[in-house]
Amino acid sequence: MTTETRHFIELSEILAFEQECDSCHVRFLFELDRERRLSVTCPACNADLVSGDKDLEHLRTFIASLQYLRGRGEDLKGLRFQIEVLNTDGSKS
Ligand SMILES: [Zn+2]
């Protein structure tokens, strides 16, 4: 018998996202429930965190959509997204 484990998350389970600077590896946490602007440059070393205006525009739209949809609560209950869970060495489960 073959079994397959699938992992799903609901919008309410997405609490934040993290940005990590490629240059100095400082990490920034963006909590979706708190007003905070997406960082374009690293406050620690001033390196670009987002490569271009188009990427920045899409990220801002994506974040705004996430914030809006999370606020819809019960109306979207039952909507789940499949995620991939990797082992600590980066391999697939
Ligand atoms: Zn940096």
Q: pLDDT of 50-68, one tens digit each? A: 888 898 899 889 989 988 9
How far CA 46 is from CA of 2, 33, 53, in Å, comes to 50, 26, 17
Residue 93's pLDDT band, with cuts at 50, 70 and 90, is low
Task: Give yes or no for a contact between 80 and 9, defined as CB atoms under 8 angstroms apart.
Answer: yes
Q: What's the gap in Å between 41 CA and the centre of ligand 1?
A: 8
Q: What's the gap in Å between 16 CA and the centre of ligand 1?
A: 20
Residue 25 has pLDDT above 90, yes or no: yes
Calpha distance 81→38 (Å, rounded): 23
Q: Is the pTM of this model over 0.85?
A: no
